[in-house]
Amino acid sequence: MLDLKFVRENPEIVKQNIRNKFQDAKLPLVDEVIALDEESRKTKKEADDLRADRNRISKQIGALMGQGKREEAEAVKKQVTEAQAHLAELENRERELEEKIRKIMLTIPNIIDPSVPIGRNDTENVEVQRYGEPVVPDFEIPYHTEIMERFNGIDLDSARRVAGNGFYYLMGDIARLHSAVIAYARDFMIGRGFTYCVPPFMIRSDVVTGVMSFAEMDAMMYKIEGEDLYLIGTSEHSMIGKFIDTIIPEEELPKTLTSYSPCFRKEKGAHGIEERGVYRIHQFEKQEMIVVCRPEESPMWFDKLWQNTVDLFRSLDIPVRTLECCSGDLADLKVKSVDVEAWSPRQKKYFEVGSCSNLGDAQARRLRIRVNGADGKKYFAHTLNNTVVAPPRMLIAFLENNLQADGTVRIPKALQPYMGGMTELK
């Protein structure tokens, strides 16, 4: 969410940013919120003036009563009653205007970083760099569920009967591999100085609207019926929410946390054949990382976060690349984003396994996360998040890149301690 003062003083910058995100339908909102803000400030001033007059007149009543001037005092009381009725109208109008302004401000997108490439959608994202040599073996790579089935490692039919489409049972060594990847990612991030955390898996609506846009919320979140609770779509939601309504001493920054959680997502819409199996599902587990820091440090942390994911995948011998997300592919709260994609030998192309985002002060402004500076002045923190690893998709990349011609799956050295010393799956 932008600062209303910034919108008021820089309407053309805000409008151009909307155009850069190809959201022209939102352009009228800028003038609308500026007009509402002007009316709100006028209404507030009138109400403040009326309160001051009411207080001044109220003091006169006591003085008149003390002088025995009861009739004059009653006349003044009538003025106070009339003023109070008008004040109530103004206060109601103030609340209405504040609600309208907030609703629009939650819809106007954040200002993107000048380095972000301009493009309509993810087809115009820009490749930044490749890490590791992508290999296509001289034997056929089966679809990932077929590989898992060879190890009796997945049961989709039972999951459909129990929960419907978009769910799965992982079994045996494949289930163990899933847990090993999560444990390895946890220790990997602890080794990089992040504090490990297991957060709440449900959050209240004020946290939901604090961490994401309405469009994202509708497309992703499952609501608990009859309660003000939502199942998290990623632990970033509850991890950033941890700091709601707090003032953090500047010397305690940065806050660097890595968190484990299950994730729940609606995943609306039809998906292609490559997104069957465990690629796009309603429930999965993930290791996440978040940072809360000073504004001037967020670009540095942004580069550190996506590099962590690259380094983790390369430690497991999986080739990856980074993509700079274009303007039209950025969610409304994001300033800048980089996707990490893993190599798929079967598809002979890369696919997304993680996303790193700098949200500037957008989440902090919505959640009222402030920093108490060394000079005593308070300011909004910057927040960032990134996927360490989400095993369902990571398992696809892992199995495809480590499958051998004889059908075994190689276990990279870094993961062997988490698999009881196993060097391969047979």
Considering the candidates 213, 261, 337, 355, report the single residue annotated as catalytic.
355
Q: How buried is 169 (Cβ within 10 angstroms: 0-12 exposed, 13-18 middle, 19+ buried)?
A: middle
Does residue 265 have an active-site annotation?
Answer: yes
Q: Which amino acid is at 202?
A: M
Considering the candidates 98, 250, 267, 352, report the single residue annotated as catalytic.
352
Which residues are CB-contacts of 87 (< 8 A; sequence separation ≥ 6)?
A: 47, 50, 51, 54
Does residue 355 have an active-site annotation?
Answer: yes
Considering the candidates 265, 321, 346, 366, report the single residue annotated as catalytic.
265
Does residue 393 have an active-site annotation?
Answer: yes
Considering the candidates 280, 294, 314, 410, report the single residue annotated as catalytic.
280
Considering the candidates 186, 321, 366, 393, report the single residue annotated as catalytic.
393
Does residue 8 have an active-site annotation?
Answer: no
Q: Which amino acid is at 387?
A: T
Q: Which residues of 372-393 are buried (b: 16+ CB within 10 A; e: fewer)?
A: eeeeeeeebbbbbbbbbbbbbb
Active site residues: 265, 280, 352, 355, 393
